[in-house]
Amino acid sequence: MRRTKQNKIATFLIALAVCLAFISYHLFADLPLSKLPIEFEIDQGSSLKSTTAKLQQVGILQDGWTFNVLARVTGKAKKIRFGNYLLDRPISRYGLLDMIGEGKTDRSLIQIRIIEGITFNELRKQMDALPKLRHDSASLTEAELLQRIGAVEPAAEGLFFPDTYYFANGSSDLAVYKRAYQTLHRHLESAWQQRDPQSPLLSPYEALILASIVEKETGKANDRPMIATVFLNRLVRRMRLQTDPTVIYGMGETFDGNLRRRDLTADTPYNTYTRYGLPPTPIALPGLESIRAVMHAPLGKELYFVAKGDGSSHFSRSLIEHNEAVRQYQLKKK
């Protein structure tokens, strides 16, 4: 009887030792990485599941279940911090958990901030002026650049998500464009899947075009959803959008800072005073809030808005009300 009990204890201790050895190995043994360095990004609000999928996608993890188990056992499953990370040396699963749990991003990386509302041409000038990037796109046409990053759209305008990105010193500028392009598509597709089912927009690209207009028309963030409502209502009623930023974009380098009446009547593909519907491409890089605004615009019958002079806008449902607002906020100042 005593021997049987001793055998059970011995079996338990052996099993425990094997289990501890297994856990220890998977915690502290270096991951079998095929190449270094590896750059990866964890989005804000990412779950353990989505983070594990991202780590598998970039080639850091070969299997996800051991990483998930270890994250939960060590209490780090709910401590994942978003950011851009650089893995430039061998690392264990525990080291990886520590890195993303403590937000140990590489502060020596180049920080590249893409701002909402700028145009693609402005973005190219910004990229070309960064001395720590490798400028592989310098001799490429816009079409060639799009081909190199795997883009399928007809024009580059609006395709790069405004955000702060981190890259290793000497990285190719094409890598920056590609990540910003992929990030834009991820946010755009996610928003499109959750769009208002009554929306008149026929594709994610149409939503991107309208979001770029909303971005350029918004003076104060609180007005963004209602500005989207106005433009969507005008599209539904087959009214011209009549928005100055599209006209200015269509004028290109000829715009001198003053928009004249003759400019509003000079027809171009981007003149929404002379043409119905959306322009052929976005007119700037819209941010996430503008993208969400056109997907979930609040219900309303507003068809007009005018700048009040303090960055905000006055919204009207009728032309009579709109003309009165123009007299109040615009003509009196002149």
Rounded distance between C-alpha atoms, residue 162 and residue 286, angstroms: 7
**pLDDT at residue 105, rounded to an integer:** 65
**pLDDT at residue 42, rounded to an integer:** 82
**pLDDT at residue 70, rounded to an integer:** 82
Is residue 86 within 8 Å of residue 105, measured between CB atoms? Answer: yes
SS3 119: coil
- pTM score: 0.72
Q: What is the mean pLDDT of residues 212-223?
A: 94
93-102 and 65-73 helices, crossing angle to 10°: 60
Is residue 40 within 8 Å of residue 55, measured between CB atoms? Answer: yes
| DSSP element (H, E) containing 113 | strand 110-113
Q: What is the mean pLDDT of residues 182-188?
A: 93
Count Cβ neighbours within 10 Å for each residue of 199-214 and write b for 16 or more, e otherwise: bebeebbbbbbbbbbb
Residue 124: C-alpha distances to residues 156, 194, 255 (Å): 11, 32, 19
Which two structure tokens, joined as six digits, stand for 77? 């499953």
Q: What is the dihedral of CA 48, 50, 55, 56, to 10 degrees?
A: 120
pLDDT in tens, 277-333: 999 999 999 999 999 999 998 888 999 988 888 888 888 999 999 988 888 887 655
Rounded distance between C-alpha atoms, residue 115 and residue 296, angstroms: 23
Segments in 103-223 forming alpha helices (H): 120-128, 142-148, 173-193, 204-217
Q: What is the mean pLDDT of residues 215-226?
A: 93
Tell whether the torsion through CA atoms of 187, 188, 191 and 194 is positive or negative.
negative
Domain map (residue ranges) of the chain: 28-102, 203-333
Q: Letter for the amino acid at 60? A: I
With a cut of 80, say whether residue 254 has pLDDT above it: yes
Query: For the chain, how big is the Rg over CA atoms in Å?
Result: 27
Closest CA to 212 of 178, 175, 162: 162
Average pLDDT, the chain: 86
Helix and strand totals (H; E) in the chain: 13, 6
With a cut of 90, say whether residue 242 has pLDDT above it: yes
Q: Sorting pLDDT into bands at 50, 70 and 90, what band is 9?
A: low
**pLDDT at residue 27, rounded to an integer:** 60
Q: Sorting pLDDT into bands at 50, 70 and 90, what band is 98?
A: confident
Please list, in sequence order, all residues whose beta carbon lies within 8 angstroms of the beta carbon of residue 154, skipping any fewer than 6 positions away: 280, 281
Rounded distance between C-alpha atoms, residue 43 and residue 199, angstroms: 28
SS3 92: strand
Rounded distance between C-alpha atoms, residue 155 and residue 159, angstroms: 8
Q: Sorting pLDDT into bands at 50, 70 and 90, what band is 118?
A: very high
Tell whether the torsion through CA atoms of 269, 275, 280 and 282 is positive or negative.
positive
pLDDT in tens, 10-44: 555 555 555 555 555 556 677 877 777 787 778 76
Q: Which of 86-90, 97-101, 116-120, 135-139 has the weakest average pLDDT?
A: 86-90
- Cα separation of the two ends of the chain: 104
Q: Sorting pLDDT into bands at 50, 70 and 90, what band is 64?
A: confident
**CATH 2.60.40.10 is right for the domain spanning 28-102:** no
Q: Which of 28-32, 121-125, 168-172 has the weakest average pLDDT?
A: 28-32
Rounded distance between C-alpha atoms, residue 67 and residue 53, angstroms: 11
Q: What is the mean pLDDT of residues 111-137?
A: 94
Q: What is the mean pLDDT of residues 75-98?
A: 80
